[in-house]
Amino acid sequence: GKRRAIGEAPRPADGALDLPTRLRRNRRADWSRRLTRENTLTVDDLIWPIFLIEGEKCREPVAAMPGVDRLTVDEAVRSVEQAARLGIPAVALFPYTDPARRDPEGSEAENPDNLVCRALRALKAAVPNIGLITDVALDPYTSHGHDGLMEGERILNDATVAALARQSLAQAEAGADMIAPSDMMDGRVGAIRGALDESGFTDVQIMSYAAKYASAFYGPFRDAIGTRKALVGDKKTYQMDPANGDEALREAELDLLEGADMLMVKPGLPYLDIVWRLKDRFRMPTYAYQVSGEYAMIRGAAERGWIDGELAMLESLMAFKRAGADGVLTYFAPEVARRLKAG
Ligand code: PBG
């Protein structure tokens, strides 16, 4: 054909659409996709939740969470050392309490020598520069599996809040850097902040499970900490109704007024709209918890060869970033960190 002058537009080939904008142009090559990418996932986005058990030199698999173990304190120290070497900023601790130590009041929660407090002291000494986050709620310690104190069928709010404040103090004294109340009682953030400040722990942060829903996705976690069979009824009088979005804004606003340093949404992927709305409204550090059931779904499908587990893991975590999350609590944390390091 005839030679074109430089800069002269080519005539559209027969059948070509006359499109001024073709979004596929930027997606054509890997370099261009990297150049136009809007979000990135880094190791700094990861918080690793770990399960603790009594004993020594033991890792006990969690049935519905392939690849996740309950760790004795010595094993937790080893694993958290590795996590720190990978650059993971923080871990969150969850205990499996010996059933003999559970009672209706969850009094073991306040024991300064309980499993979590012993783990905190060991971890603080061995791995001083990783953040230690503790869950504040009574369910690992109550014989009925609820997050609060009960009177008959009722979960008592204000008496529970007082117990949570005492639990928080025990954890701060043992070395917790950040307290994460997951109980969904009203007024607990303010009470915990007050108790911490009064005892001189003004630097201990609070990450509020601001919007925590009454979700079916916590099933494997309840097995891991041994509360599934114990739980009487459900948690709908304190955890949020999955139908509600505006209410999450009110929960978050109150927690911030009471002194929360950061917000969290839980579960994760089914609630990305909530992550987005909280971030958009409050511009606060905002986190999402990719909970046990979400982990189990990805792992379970991958084990059957139904999806590519690694790609699904990375895609799900990127989705949190796109939704505005500043980080994610995920059981995949060490695996993702290793994967990101390998490039
Ligand atoms: C309990 C608590 C739960 C989770 C974290 N803290 C379960 C529940 O509310 O019953 C769930 C985490 C997960 O499923 O991974 N206070």
Q: Tell me if 21 is assigned to some domain.
A: no
Mean per-residue pLDDT over the chain, rounded: 96
* Residue 251 annotated in ligand binding: yes
Decide if 20 is inside a domain: no
CA 273 to the chain's CA centroid: 16
Summarised one tens digit per residue, pLDDT across range 114-160 is: 999 999 999 999 999 999 999 999 999 999 999 999 999 999 999 99
Distance 331 CA to ligand 1 centre (A): 13
Which pLDDT band, with edges at 50, 70 and 90, does 12 fall under?
A: low
- Is there an atom of ligand 1 within 6 Å of 137 CB? yes
For residue 6, tell me if it sits in a domain: no
Residue 15 pLDDT > 70: yes
Catalytic amino acids? 212, 266
| Residue 5 belongs to some domain of the structure | no
Mutate to test the pocket of ligand 1, among 160, 218, 297 (most ligand atoms within 8 A of CB): 218
**By the 8 A CB rule, do 242 and 213 touch?**
yes
pLDDT at 7: 75
The Cα-based distances of 104 to 53, 144, 166, 250 in angstroms read: 21, 6, 16, 31
Q: How confident is the model at residue 6 (pLDDT cuts 50, 70, 90)?
A: confident
77 falls in which pLDDT band (50, 70, 90)? very high
Within 8 A by CB and 6+ apart from 31, the residues are: none
Region 183-199 average pLDDT: 98
Q: What are phi and psi of 289, to 5 degrees?
A: -105, 110
Distance in Å, CA 22 to ligand 1 centroid: 45
Atom of ligand 1 nearest to the CA of 220: 14
Alpha carbon of 221 to ligand 1 centroid (Å): 6
Per-residue pLDDT at 10: 67
No. of helices (H) and no. of strands (E), the chain: 11, 12
Assess whether the C-beta atom of 141 lies below 6 angstroms from ligand 1.
no
Q: Atom of ligand 1 at shortest distance to CA of 137?
A: 16
Res. 232 pLDDT band, cuts 50 70 90 = confident
CA–CA separation, 174 and 37 (whole Å): 43
Q: Give me the torsion for CA of 213, 54, 74, 202, rounded to 10°.
A: 50
Count how many domains the chain has: 1
Q: Which of 155, 209, 291 to mutate to test the pocket of ligand 1 (most atoms within 8 A of CB)?
A: 291
**Residue 13: pLDDT band by 50, 70, 90 thresholds?**
confident
pLDDT at position 2 is 60
Q: For residue 254, is it within any domain?
A: yes
Span from the CA of 128 to the centroid of ligand 1 (angstroms): 26
Asked if residue 104 belongs to a domain, the reply is yes
Pocket of ligand 1 contains residue 90 by CB under 6 Å: no
Q: Transcribe 121-150 into DSSP letters.
A: HHHHHH-TTSEEEEEE-STTTBTT--SSEE
What are the backbone angles phi and psi of residue 39, rounded to the nearest 5°?
A: -135, 155
pLDDT of amino acid 294 = 98
Q: Is the CB of 238 under 6 A from ligand 1?
A: no
Answer whether 329 contacts ligand 1 (Cβ < 6 A): no
CATH number for the domain including 87?
3.20.20.70
Are residues 258 and 190 in contact, defined by beta-carbon separation less than 8 angstroms?
yes
Quick one: pLDDT band at residue 299, thresholds 50, 70, 90? very high
Q: Give the phi and the psi of residue 249 in degrees, each rounded to 5.
A: -65, -40
Cα separation, 217 vs 297, in Å, equals 9
Enclosing domain of residue 278: 40-342
Distance, CA 295 to ligand 1 centroid (Å)?
13
241 within a domain of the structure (yes/no)? yes
ipTM: 0.97
159-171 per-position pLDDT tens digit: 999 999 999 999 9
CB of 139 sitting under 6 A from ligand 1: yes
- Regarding the beta carbon of 223 and ligand 1, being less than 6 Å apart is answered no
Q: Which residues, 6+ apart, have CB-to-CB distance to 328 below 8 Å?
A: 45, 46, 47, 268, 287, 288, 289, 290, 317, 320
Q: Is residue 84 part of a domain?
A: yes
Is the pLDDT score of 198 beyond 70? yes
Rounded to 5 degrees, what are φ and ψ at 91?
-125, 155
pTM for the model stands at: 0.95
pLDDT the model gives residue 14: 82
Q: Return the pLDDT at 165.
A: 98
